[in-house]
C-alpha cells in the first residue's frame, strides 16, 4: 500500500518529494499526490516533519 | 505574461525555479544579453518561507549586492553554541562593531533577487509549473509548462534547474537519483514570540536533542525568533516527528515559558556531497538542486548564489559561442567546483564525523573550545579549534583544513 496523505496536516513543504527514491511524489499547488510508481519504502513517511503521511511501510 | 493553450514561447534560457539561485542565474545571464524566462510554480516568489533565515554577509561584494538592510530583520554580532549539558561557546568577531551576519526576511530577500534579475531584463512567470523537458536529438531544448490552467511550451537553448531540494529537473535529466536518508535533514520551525534569548546572537543547540542535526534560535527582533531543528532522516523510526522533537525542546526550556508560536515552517534540505554532475547537453543545475547546501550548517543561500553567478556568466559565454553541449558546459562545472567544492567536501566530512559524536563528547568539545576564545564565526574556524584540542576527531580529514 502506498502511503496516504492527510491534507489537513500536510504543509506542502516538499520533504517527502525530495526524499522519495523513485520520484513518485508530486507537489501540487494545494495537495501532494503519490503515484503508482510508489515502491512502498516508507522513507517519505519518516521524512515528513509533521506526520501527514500514514501507512506505506 | 499571458499565454494560451498550446503556445510556444522562444527564449535563450529558461530557469525552473524563482528562488534566489534561479533569479541570480537569470540576473547574470540577462546581463550578458541573454533572453531569460524564470518559471515559479508558486503564486508568490519568496512565499511560503522555508528557511531559518540566518545568513552571513561575507558574499555581498561578490554578488554585487549593495543594500542588505532592505531584507534584514535582525543584525547579529556572534553565535552561541550549547552542548547538551549546557556548556556554552560564544563566538564573536572583533571587527569594529560590525555585524557578522543577519537574520533575514527571506520573502523580501527572494523578491529582491528577482527584482535585480528583472532589472537586467529577465522575464518572470509565477504560478507556472514545469511539467517536463523537451528533448530534440539528445539535446534538451526547453520545457513543457502549465500556467493558470493553460499548457504551453518554452523552447530554449539551455534549461536551468533551480528547483531546490525536491528538484524534478535534475531527475528528469537523469543527473541523479535518490539522496541517501543519511544525507537528508528534515526540518520543522516555529516563529516564537515573547521568548527570552539574547537577540544579538544566533543560538545553536547540539546533541541528541536533534539527532544528526541541531536546534537553532535565530532572532527576528527583541523577544522573537525562528526556533527550529533539523533531524537526519535515517535517525527517525516513525515514532516521533521533527515537530515532536521541537515541541519537547521548547517545553524543556524556561526561555520559552511565555512563548507563543505565531507561524510554522516545514521542509527538508540535503546535506549530501555536491552532485557528481551538474550539466548535460542543454541543461545545468544550480543551488539546492545541484546539492551545494553546506553539509555542516544546512545553509544553502550563499553557496547557491555564488554558483548562480558563475552559471549566469557561463551561459553568456555559451550564447556568444553558440555552444550549449555538455562538453562546452564543463566550463561551468569546473568554475563552480574550483570555487566551492573543497569546502563542501571538508564540511561533508566534518558533518559525517559530527553525526557520530555522543552528548558527552559534545560537552567536552564545547567546553574545550570555549577556552580558546574563537574570534571567527565559521565552520573552518571551529574545526581548527577542534583540531587544536582534539586532533583525533579531525584526523580523517585533517589535510582538508
Q: Domains of chain A: which residue ranges?
A: 4-54
Those residues of chain B that have pLDDT short of 70 are: 94-99
Q: Determine whether the interchain pair B50/A13 forms a contact, defined as Cβ–Cβ distance below 8 Å.
A: yes
End-to-end CA distance of chain B: 49
Closest CB from A13, A23, A43 relative to B267: A13
Intervals of CATH 3.30.9.10 along chain B: 180-270
The CATH architecture to which A4-54 belongs is 2-Layer Sandwich (3.30)
Neighbours of B349 (CB within 10 A): 19
Upper half-sphere CA count for residue B362 (Cβ side, 13 Å): 26
Q: Determine whether the interchain pair A13/B265 forms a contact, defined as Cβ–Cβ distance below 8 Å.
A: yes
Spatial distance between the Cα atoms of B287 and B19, rounded to a whole number of angstroms: 9
Q: Which three cell numbers stand for residue A20?
A: 522519495
Mutation target among A7, A18, A24 for the B interface, most CBs of B within 10 A = A18
Cβ-Cβ contacts under 8 Å, B42 against chain A: 29
Reported as a single tens digit per residue, the pLDDT across A6-51 is: 988 999 999 999 999 999 999 887 789 999 999 999 999 999 999 9
Looking at residue B71, its pLDDT comes to 97
A39 CB within 8 Å of a chain B CB: no
Looking at residue B395, its pLDDT comes to 82
Interface A-B: count of C-beta contacts within 8 A: 82
A38 CB within 8 Å of a chain B CB: no
Fold that domain B8-48+107-179+275-351 belongs to in CATH: FAD/NAD(P)-binding domain (3.50.50)
Looking at residue B380, its pLDDT comes to 84
Do the beta carbons of residue B247 and residue B259 sit within 8 Å? no
Do the beta carbons of residue B221 and residue B56 sit within 8 Å? no
Stated as kind and residue range, the H or E segment containing B316 is helix B301-321
Distance from CA of B238 to the nearest CA of A (A): 5
Stated as kind and residue range, the H or E segment containing B360 is helix B359-372
Q: Which of B169, B165, B154, B161 is nearest to B187 (CA)?
A: B165
Cβ-Cβ contacts under 8 Å, B177 against chain A: 21
Cell 564540511 identifies what position? B347
The CATH architecture to which B180-270 belongs is 2-Layer Sandwich (3.30)
Spatial distance between the Cα atoms of B342 and B173, rounded to a whole number of angstroms: 26
* Complex ipTM over 0.95: no
Reported as a single tens digit per residue, the pLDDT across B134-162 is: 999 999 999 999 999 899 999 999 999 99
Spatial distance between the Cα atoms of B187 and B282, rounded to a whole number of angstroms: 33
Q: Which of A46, A38, A48 is nearest to A12 (CA)?
A: A48
| C-alpha torsion sign, points B164, B165, B166, B168 | positive
Distance from CA of A25 to the nearest CA of B (A): 10
Spatial distance between the Cα atoms of B59 and B77, rounded to a whole number of angstroms: 17
A47 CB within 8 Å of a chain B CB: yes
Intervals of CATH 3.50.50.60 along chain B: 8-48+107-179+275-351
Amino acid at each position: 500500500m502506498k502511503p496516504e496523505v492527510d491534507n489537513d496536516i500536510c504543509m506542502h513543504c516538499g520533504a517527502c518529494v525530495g526524499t522519495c527514491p523513485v520520484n513518485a511524489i508530486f507537489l501540487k499547488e494545494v495537495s501532494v499526490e503519490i503515484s503508482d510508481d510508489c515502491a512502498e519504502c516508507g522513507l517519505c513517511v519518516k521524512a515528513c516533519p509533521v506526520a501527514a503521511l500514514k501507512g506505506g511501510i | 505574461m499571458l499565454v494560451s493553450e498550446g503556445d510556444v514561447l522562444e527564449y535563450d534560457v529558461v530557469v525552473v525555479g524563482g528562488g534566489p539561485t534561479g533569479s541570480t542565474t537569470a540576473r547574470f545571464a540577462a546581463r550578458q544579453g541573454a533572453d531569460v524566462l524564470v518559471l515559479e510554480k508558486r503564486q508568490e516568489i519568496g512565499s511560503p518561507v522555508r528557511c531559518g533565515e540566518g545568513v552571513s554577509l561575507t558574499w555581498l561584494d561578490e554578488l554585487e549586492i549593495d543594500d542588505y538592510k532592505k531584507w534584514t530583520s535582525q543584525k547579529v554580532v556572534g553565535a552561541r553554541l550549547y552542548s547538551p549539558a549546557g556548556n556554552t561557546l560564544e563566538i564573536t568577531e572583533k571587527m569594529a562593531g560590525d555585524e557578522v551576519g543577519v537574520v533575514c526576511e527571506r520573502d523580501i530577500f527572494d523578491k529582491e533577487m528577482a527584482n535585480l534579475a528583472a532589472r537586467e531584463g529577465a522575464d518572470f512567470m509565477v504560478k507556472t509549473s514545469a511539467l517536463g523537458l523537451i528533448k530534440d536529438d539528445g539535446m534538451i531544448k526547453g520545457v513543457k509548462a502549465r500556467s493558470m490552467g493553460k499548457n504551453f511550451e518554452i523552447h530554449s537553448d539551455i534549461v536551468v534547474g533551480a528547483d531546490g531540494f525536491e528538484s524534478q529537473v535534475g531527475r528528469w535529466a537523469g543527473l541523479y537519483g535518490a539522496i541517501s536518508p543519511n544525507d537528508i535533514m528534515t526540518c520543522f520551525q516555529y516563529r516564537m514570540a515573547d521568548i527570552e534569548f539574547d537577540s544579538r546572537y544566533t543560538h545553536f543547540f547540539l546533541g541528541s536533542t536533534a539527532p544528526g542535526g541541531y536546534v537553532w534560535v535565530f532572532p527576528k527582533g527583541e523577544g522573537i525568533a525562528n526556533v527550529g531543528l533539523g533531524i537526519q532522516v535515517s535517525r527517525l523510526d516513525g515514532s516521533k516527528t521533527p515537530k515532536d522533537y521541537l515541541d519537547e525542546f521548547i517545553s524543556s526550556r524556561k526561555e520559552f515559558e511565555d512563548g507563543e508560536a505565531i507561524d510554522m515552517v516545514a521542509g527538508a534540505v540535503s546535506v549530501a556531497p555536491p552532485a557528481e554532475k551538474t550539466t548535460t547537453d542543454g541543461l545545468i543545475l544550480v543551488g539546492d538542486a545541484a546539492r551545494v547546501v553546506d553539509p555542516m550548517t544546512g545553509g544553502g543561500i550563499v553557496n547557491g548564489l555564488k554558483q548562480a553567478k558563475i552559471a549566469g556568466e557561463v551561459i553568456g559565454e555559451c550564447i556568444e559561442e553558440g555552444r550549449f553541449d555538455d562538453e562546452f558546459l564543463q566550463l561551468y562545472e569546473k568554475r563552480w567546483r574550483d570555487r566551492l567544492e573543497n569546502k563542501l567536501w571538508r564540511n561533508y566530512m566534518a558533518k559525517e564525523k559530527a553525526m557520530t559524536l555522543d552528548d558527552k563528547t559534545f560537552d567536552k568539545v564545547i567546553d574545550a573550545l570555549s577556552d580558546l576564545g574563537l574570534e571567527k564565526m565559521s565552520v573552518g574556524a571551529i574545526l581548527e579549534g577542534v583540531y587544536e584540542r582534539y586532533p583525533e576527531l579531525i584526523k580523517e580529514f585533517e589535510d582538508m583544513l
